[in-house]
Structure 1
Amino acid sequence: MVDAIVVGAGQAGLATAHHLQRRGLPFLMLEAGARPVGSWLRHYDSLKLFSPARYAALPGLPFPGDPDHYPARDEVTAYLEAYARQHRVPLVTGADVTQVLPTGAAFRVLTGDGRTFSTRTLVAATGTYRTPRVPELPGHASFQGRTLHSLEYRQPDPFRGERVVVVGAGNSAVQIAVELARMARVTLAARTPVPFVPQRPLGRDVHDWITWLQVDQLPLGQFGRLPSPRSVFDPGTYRAAFREGRLDQRPMFARFTARGVVWSTGREEAVDSVVFATGYRTGLEYLFGTGALDVRGEPVQRLGRSLTVPGLYYAGLSGQRAFASATLRGAGPDAELVVRYLAGHLQRQSSGPPGGPLAPLRAAWKARRR
């Protein structure tokens, strides 16, 4: 029995670990994969952050390199692994959590390989990039070409010479479409035009301006979960690619055919592949049956604290606390607030002599850490 179990060893889970350690709370971190990198390795090879390295650091460890550079995917995974090592996070890998069972004032946590863990509180830190969202479109089942979600996309080489449609209007959709356009005929299809924003207005990254104005850290999540920002940050190459005709943008197609798609104009066109960069849904299936989720499978929470299951918390949800939630720069503040709630819950649970009945366990934990 530990004070807390953190499910998921991505940026949200690791930031949560940092704040649990600062309070001396014994905990375990359970990670389905073999490395403490969250979902980063599942994303495409050329992925780069849309914000400079100075905003990619978790609490307690600066991000290496030039603060103005835009880290690549593999730089982020190396940083997260270094973070887990430096903080000596008590990590259990290969522990894919399949079910959480509330048991009075505690939880039993079951993994796919048959292990069971017990904890007084639980932080669901599996984030927002776990389960792909693909829209249901007429004729999809009859389409003989290739369809995939951006989570399955790795690099453009397999699409060389093809006719490709990328569906989506976010940063990933645009980045993938522009990359594919180097070796394929590409159309970006979206229900709304892409909302481009200059990456470096007046010579400074847009996140510098956002930070100075404190826009994306305002705790507006107290009024409900916030929508995901829809702006696409353009370093100067994305809009240029469209202007120069290397790819085009069209309204979303109406339906699939066996060999392609039918555009909103009624024109049918043969297509080899369709890449859906259409985001994700919250993948919290392991909480089914706890009463923590609504009918859509979304958590009933405010600022990361469950409103229906005492002792259950969330980290890494999009729009959980602020617009920066679910990003590297938002992970630390979100985790700090969640751990504050969690510590208060444990304190209310405890009784007896000063320090409560958990004091000996915490003292032993601190001694082991030293």
Structure 2
Amino acid sequence: MGRWPGVEAVLQSVVVGAGQAGLSAAHHLLRLGLRPWDDVVVLDANAAPGGAWQHRWDTLTMADVHGVAALPDDVAPPTSAERANAVVPQVFGEYERRGGLPVLRPVRVERVEALDGDAAGPLLVTGAGRTWTTRTVVSATGTWERPFVPHYPGSGSFAGRQLHTQGYRGPDELAGQHVVVVGGGLSAVQLLAEISEVATTTWVTRREPVWRTTPFTPDEGRRAVALVESRVRRGLPPQSVVSVTGLMLREQERAAAERGVYTRRPMFERIEPDGVVWPDGTRRRADVILWATGFRPDVAHLAPLHLRTPEGGIELDGTTAVRDPRVQLVGYGPSASTIGANRAGRTAARGVLRALGRAAG
């Protein structure tokens, strides 16, 4: 019989999600002395390794994502013309096997709640018809499952196709059409370059894009992460790291710039059946509206714990949820970017040990 009446076995930690941040957290939990399967399990909603990488578009190559898929105590996959959605899942799968990481899949976690409402007792993690009892949870679900599409008047009347970058598979399906690309981030810039080779495009953003003219250094990356961290420390909804780094054209996008692809228009006012309309009455016919408008944190499974502040975010101290220190969040806020994922995994593992009353080595 366990410490809590009626509970036979209690895990020390459940990691929810096996993307980069979740694997990093699991790796560090084992390195700090927790035992796979007996103390720690990782529950992953995907049927195969690779996290969100396995769902990305086929034209995204390892040359586009060089260095960003590195895992702790491992070597980053090499730069190549191979598809990232094939290479990275293979790398992640080998990492899981080599490290003996206790990943169970497919398990989509639906709820995390306190046992009998006890704020000091164990947590119940429910998914795929099963329940796990654990003293701590590391939520590493990222953002991929929550694409954000803003509402604009008339959006339901559009006779063409609307898709989000989550559902984008490559430019060939858009050939010969006119595509309105909405969004001011790196995905919009990258997709405009390749789509413009087979289709005509219009680029629309809410704000003027901020272009970088100098390389992005590690120090600047750390400063960008710190800006996002400052928001989650105050319980504000996180912004993406990219939103504070600016945009820089890579070699493969400079030809698109020379073609005038990155001539930006402000946001349209409404959508009509055959296109979009700006406040001054200007119209642009469109076959496709591609929403490169980002993602929101996938944290609905944590709702029973009431972690959100009145401002709408989850207040964190490092990766620890201030309102419930049994919970660590990685892949949220600053660690939603690959820039901060590995560091967040290490921080979360140490936070778990603190919650368990153990000293981290």
Shorter-chain TM-score: what band? 0.7 to 0.9
**Which residue is 1:358 aligned to?**
none
Equivalence for 1:288: 303
The answer as to 2:195 corresponding to 1:185 is no
Correspondences of 1:63-212 after superposition (within 5 Å): 63-65=76-78, 72-103=84-115, 104=118, 105-111=121-127, 113-198=128-213, 201=214, 206-207=215-216, 209-211=217-219
User: Residues 87-131 of structure 1, C-alpha deviation per residue, up to 9 Å, x if partnerless?
Assistant: 1111110111011111231111111x3111111100110013330
Letter in 1 for 2:350: R
DSSP 3-state at the match of 1:288: helix
Q: CA deviation at 1:55?
A: 5.1
TM-superposed CA distance for 1:278, in Å, is 0.2
Unaligned runs of 5+ in 1: 320-324, 351-370
Q: Deviations over 1:223-262 (max 9, x none)?
A: 5466323322311343541332356421111110121110
CA distance 1:114–1:340, shift in 2 (3 Å): same
Deviates more, 1:86-95 or 1:3-12: 86-95
Q: Within 5 Å, give how 1:181-260 maps onto structure 2.
A: 181-198=196-213, 201=214, 206-207=215-216, 209-211=217-219, 215-216=223-224, 218=226, 221=229, 223-224=233-234, 227-228=239-240, 229-230=242-243, 231-246=246-261, 248-260=263-275
Match of 2:7? none
Corresponding position of 2:277: 262
By percentage of residues, which structure has more strand? 1
| Deviation sequence 1:124-155 (CA, Å, 0-9, x none) | 10013330111110110111111111100111
Q: Is residue 24 of structure 2 the alignment partner of residue 8 of structure 1?
A: no
Partner Cα separation in structure 1 for residue 324 and residue 47 of structure 2: 30
Aligned-pair Cα RMSD in Å: 2.6
Name the SS for the 2:344 alignment partner: helix
Whole-angstrom distance in 1 between the partners of 2:63 and 2:304: 37
Shift of 1:273: 0.6
Q: Is the 8 A contact 1:186 1:247 kept in 2?
A: no
Amino acid at match of 2:345: A
Check if 1:275 corresponds to 2:290: yes
- Of residues 342, 346, 351, the one that matches 2:356 is 346
Q: Per the alignment, in what secondary structure is the counterpart of residue 188 of structure 1?
A: strand
Output the amino acid matched with 2:348. V
Distance 1:217 1:272 in 2: 37
Q: Which residue of 2 aligns with 1:34?
A: 47
1:156 CA displacement: 1.1
Q: Is the 8 A contact 2:277 2:284 kept in 1?
A: yes
How many aligned positions are there? Answer: 335
State how far apart, in whole Å, the 2-side matches of 1:71 and 1:264 are.
41
Task: Return the TM-score normalized by structure 1.
Answer: 0.82
| Contact 1:282 1:297 (8 Å CA) reproduced | no
Contact 1:251–1:264 at 8 Å: present in 2 too?
Answer: no
The 8 Å contact of residues 9 and 30 in structure 1, kept in 2 or not, is answered as yes
Q: Does the CA-based 8 Å contact 2:77-2:88 persist in structure 1?
A: no
Distance 1:296 1:147, change over 3 A: farther
Matched AA of 2:317: R
Unaligned runs of 5+ in 2: 1-9
Runs of 4+ with >3 A deviation: 48-56, 68-73, 211-220, 222-227, 245-248, 294-298
Contact 1:15–1:332 (Cα < 8 Å) also in 2 = yes
SS in 2 for 1:39: helix
Say whether the 8 Å CA contact 2:44–2:107 is kept in structure 1: yes
**Displacement, 1:186?**
0.6
Q: Percent identity?
A: 33
- Which whole-Å CA distance do the structure 2 matches of 1:267 and 1:216 have between them? 37
d(CA) in 2 for partners of 1:237 and 1:331? Answer: 26
Preserved CA contact (<8 Å) 1:124 1:315: yes
SS at match of 2:59: coil
- Separation (CA, whole Å) in 2 of partners of 1:101 and 1:48: 40
What is the TM-score with the length of structure 2 in the denominator? 0.84
Deviations 1:155-175 (A, max 9, x none): 111111111101001110111
Q: Is the 8 A contact 2:182 2:203 kept in 1?
A: yes
Question: What SS class does the counterpart of residue 334 from structure 1 fall into?
Answer: helix
Q: Does the Cα contact within 8 Å between 1:287 and 1:293 map onto a contact in 2? A: no
Measure, in 2, the Cα distance between the counterparts of 1:270 and 1:221.
41
Q: By how many angstroms is 1:194 displaced?
A: 2.4
- SS of the residue aligned with 2:86? helix
Structure 1: how far apart are the matches of 2:219 and 2:66? 14
